[in-house]
Amino acid sequence: MKYRELNFEEIKSIKNILNYYLSREAIENFKFENLYLLYDKDRYDVIYTTKEVLKNLKLFKSVYGAGLIFGSFKKSKDKVKFTLSLEGMTLISRDIVKNYAMVNRKGEVLFLYGRDIFMSSVLELKGGGRLAIFNIDREFLGIGNYGGGKIIKNVIDKGWYLREGG
């Protein structure tokens, strides 16, 4: 895969998504200089890594991977859309102040097993749509989708790595 720095439009797109979860101050303090784009024909991954690793990347023409996959750009019709990955959400989780849900222990266990969350397990809900899911200790568990109603749909959770990813 090839790599390059993000351009202005890509950074703007990432800021728009971060604005959905973070305060203005948290976005201003985010280290965008640690983001790079790894890409090939149909894949555009945004990685988050250290300045030292980025400096060493310049020694290679092609790179398979480096750092955490923060998210990816996907083309759909005429638009290019940025989506945060599970690890990207983990990276920003301590600063999330919007669009999240906090669940009780039972909800936590079920969610980590890939199940949806019933509203009876929700202790706090702020916002809607794509949500960051936290346990009672505010540990990030994964990503859910809430469109109103009685459940938060599980999009992806930390248990996925054991069930599918490993």
Closest C-alpha to 38, from 53, 52, 22? 53
Report how far residue 96's alpha carbon sits from residue 33's, in angstroms, rounded to the nearest whole number: 20
Q: How does pLDDT run across 103-142, given as a tens digit for each residue?
A: 999 999 999 999 999 999 999 999 999 999 999 999 999 9
Return the SS3 of 109.
helix
Task: Indicate the pLDDT class of residue 3, thresholds 50, 70 and 90.
Answer: confident
- Whether the predicted pLDDT of 42 surpasses 70: yes
Which structure tokens are listed for 109?
A: 């266990």
Domains belonging to the chain, first-starting first, are 2-93 (3.10.450.220), 99-165 (2.30.130.10)
One-letter amino acid of 164: E
38-65: b or e for each residue (b if 16 or more CB lie within 10 Å)?
Answer: bbeeeebbbbbbeeeebeebeeeeeeee
Report the predicted TM-score, pTM, of the whole model to 2 decimal places. 0.90
Across 15-25, average pLDDT = 97
Give φ, ψ of 112 to 5 degrees.
Answer: -70, -15
